[in-house]
A and B are shown apart, each in its own frame.
Chain A
Amino acid sequence: MLDILKRPVYTFQEFVLLSISALRGVFRKPAYWGDTVIQMDLIGVGSLPVVSLTGFFSGAVMALQMARALQTYGATSQVGKIVAITMVREMGPVLTALMVAGRNSSGMASELGSMKVTEQIDAMRALGTDPVLKLVKPRLIATATVLPLLTILADFLGLVGGWIVACVLLQLTPGAQYWDTAWRAIEYNDIAQGLIKPFCFAIVLSLVGCYYGLQTTGGTQGVGRSTTQAVVVASVWVVILTFIIGRIFTKL
């Protein structure tokens, strides 16, 4: 029994240690702004197409599925409200984070993993740079900056998707009413929740990707293993965290 627990506990402990030194590293020099900007480009600009598509279609699907239910209650005018609340609170942050986990946590794990197995990480330390500052910190800062922005974009495109389905395709409600109800539905609480979530996800996504990359052993096979683990663990954490944060906010 203890043996089964030993491994996850050890992993968690190592992960926490890396997180502490990375978060501390944010305030330490050198800053490596160049690397941070490259990562922002890679994560932010690189994820634009996939995040836009998922945002748009999740909003569209919401409107489509809600249409029937709302029609039975004769509340089709409320479709904007429903799309807005679900997009901003839940769908936007979670789906964006899952996409970025698939693209970038895996990318980080495989990149750092191959650096690990070809002794580039060792070389980096031997040549006087701290891999946490040089590799983890830029990825952490870049993801934490870019993921909230991507989420805002996904939220907005989700609303557009909902609008196209509800107003243009099914003509449930006039466009003006759609936007009006959507706009009124969103409270500060929702916006706060919708921005805090991606920020927390970003920290977890980048640290999980880097952690699995840096602890890679066993050659190229090991890199494949780390990559898979990083995506799985990052995605699971996103789903767990969204529940926890959502719970905190409903209590407020």
Chain B
Amino acid sequence: MTTAAPEPVIQFEDVCLSFGGECVLDGIAFEVRRGDTLVIQGAAASGKTLILKLSLGLLRPTRGRIRLFGEDVTDYTDSQWNDVRARIGVLFQEGGLFDSLTVEENVAYPLLNQKRAPLSEEEVRRRVQESLDFVELGHTLEKYPSELSGGMRRRVGIARAIVTQPELLLYDSPTAGLDPITATTIMALIVKGRDVHHATTVMVTHRHQDGEILDRYRYDAATGRLVPAEPGTTRTRYMVLREGRIVFLGTPAEFDACEDPYVRKFSSR
């Protein structure tokens, strides 16, 4: 059906980033199109989180251009960025939940603070409830993040990321430090978040299985479960970083076939 390729959502052109003369990202160039899924892997401190922070305008590149939703955002001021950020949902590696606010206030935060048409109080409450129900934590509204388990906090973070129904979702290590069962639940939620709202998804992960779930499954709204997807329909791609450089970028098939020993550490089970 689709003839022309969908328009790019994120474009990095030769992006470099250095802190005090030390280069931590070098020559990063990639593109994520609408509806694509990008899985970023790489050793610790290889720059995965930095790529997400650059995509949110939390850091500015030392060199190169960044385009989001077709706009060149490289030189945007913070207030211009806020318009762009309102279209992005994000789950931070450390969670980034405000621990002075309740779960309900946390999830409502983007609705109340991001630039958009003001919502009525009931509408906010409804969206928050809906989003928390989505991650199956609808009963924790009054709790504080410190009263939740790590996995529950991660799920609240996901609820906060998707509450605005953003076009682009960024997840930083959503399964890190969780047991396999909880990790699979979280991944199912991410797949669901992607397929229900057709969001473009970028995920940083340490686990090979996470990428596979995003690639091979889709959410079936009728049964409410994950079902195997037709190969290639999820348009998943893998990126592998090493010391601030992209050493691999390609499709799952290319990823599995890649002979590079560093890349194989991430692709082989």
Contact = CB atoms under 8 A, between A and B. Distances in A.
Interface of A: 115, 117-120, 122-130
Interface stretch (B85-93, B120-128, B192-200, B252-260): B85-93
B86 A123 contact: no
B96 A118 contact: yes
B113 A127 contact: yes
B94 A127 contact: no
A130 B81 CA distance: 11
A126 B110 CA distance: 9
B146 to A, nearest CB: 11
Contact of B85 (A118, A120, A128): A128
B210 to A, nearest CB: 20
B93 A127 contact: no
A116 to B, nearest CB: 10
B56 interface: yes
Contact of A126 (B90, B94, B95, B99): B90
A119 B99 CA distance: 11
Contact of A119 (B85, B88, B96, B160): B96
A128 B86 contact: yes
Interface size bracket, B side: 20 to 34
Given A118-B95, A120-B98, A128 B113 contact: yes
A123 B115 contact: no
Nearest to B78: A130
Given A128-B85, A129-B113, A123 B78 contact: no
A125 B78 contact: yes
B234 interface: no
A123 B98 contact: yes
Given A128-B82, A128-B86, A123 B96 contact: yes
Contacts of B86: 128
Contact of B109 (A117, A125, A127): A127
Nearest to A114: B99
B58 A120 contact: no
B53 interface: yes
Interface string B24-65: 000000000000000000000000000001001110000000
Nearest to B101: A120
Contact of A118 (B57, B82, B88, B94): B94
A120 B97 contact: yes
A119 B49 CA distance: 11
Contacts of A125: 56-58, 78, 85
Interface in B103-137: 109-110, 113-115
Contacts of A126: 56, 58, 85, 88, 90, 92, 96
Contacts of B92: 119, 122-123, 126
A250 B251 CA distance: 76
Contacts of A128: 82, 85-86, 110, 113-115
Contacts of B94: 117-119
A123 B85 CA distance: 11
Nearest to B160: A127
26 contacts: A115-B98, A118-B94, A118-B95, A118-B96, A119-B94, A120-B96, A120-B97, A120-B98, A122-B53, A122-B56, A122-B96, A123-B90, A123-B92, A123-B96, A125-B57, A125-B78, A126-B96, A127-B110, A127-B113, A127-B160, A128-B110, A128-B113, A128-B114, A128-B115, A129-B113, A130-B78
B58 A122 contact: yes
Given A120-B99, A127-B85, A128-B110, 9 more contacts: A118-B99, A119-B92, A119-B96, A120-B96, A122-B56, A125-B58, A126-B90, A127-B160, A128-B82
A213 B160 CA distance: 25
B24 to A, nearest CB: 14
Which residue of B56, B93, B113 has the most chain A CB atoms within 10 A of its CB atom?
B113
A103 to B, nearest CB: 18
Nearest to A134: B113
A237 B86 CA distance: 40
B128 to A, nearest CB: 14
A252 to B, nearest CB: 42
Contacts of B114: 127-128
Contacts of A117: 94
Contacts of B93: 119
Contacts of A119: 92-96
B57 to A, nearest CB: 8
Q: Which 3 A-B pairs have the closest CB atoms?
A: A123-B96, A128-B114, A119-B96
Nearest to A30: B113
A117 B98 CA distance: 12
A130 B115 CA distance: 12
A199 to B, nearest CB: 28
A22 B7 CA distance: 40
